Amino acid sequence: MTDDITANYHGGHPRSVEAHEATKPRKNTDYIRILQLLRQEPAGLTCDEAEILLGMRHQTCSARFSDMKRKGWLVTRGKRRTRSGCSADVHFEASTA
């Protein structure tokens, strides 16, 4: 089993595998930044809101949120509109929810 949350989508494409390997050194720092931000936001955050507040690229922030949900570190409660007008889950740190 791979720790690449997008492996089912890219099917092991060499460039995607390379990209995943390149992100590994930064993942823990990204997790910490997201968790620290969520602790400051009692109403929770969407991934879109976290992207803006942290200055993260969508692909990075979305992947970290997916990782953290899979690990059980985040829970979702409710929905909110994003910049694009779509609804998105509101996330909270699992230990505080």
- For the chain, what are the domain ranges? 7-96
Output the pTM of the full model.
Answer: 0.78
Identify the sign of the CA torsion 17, 21, 23, 24: positive
pLDDT score at 55:
97
Residue 64 has pLDDT above 90, yes or no: yes
Other CB atoms within a 10 A radius of the CB of residue 17 amount to 15
What is the CATH number assigned to the segment(s) 7-96?
1.10.10.10
What span, in angstroms and rounded, lies between the C-alpha atoms of 97 and 81?
21
Interval 46-61 mean pLDDT? 94
Average pLDDT, the chain: 86
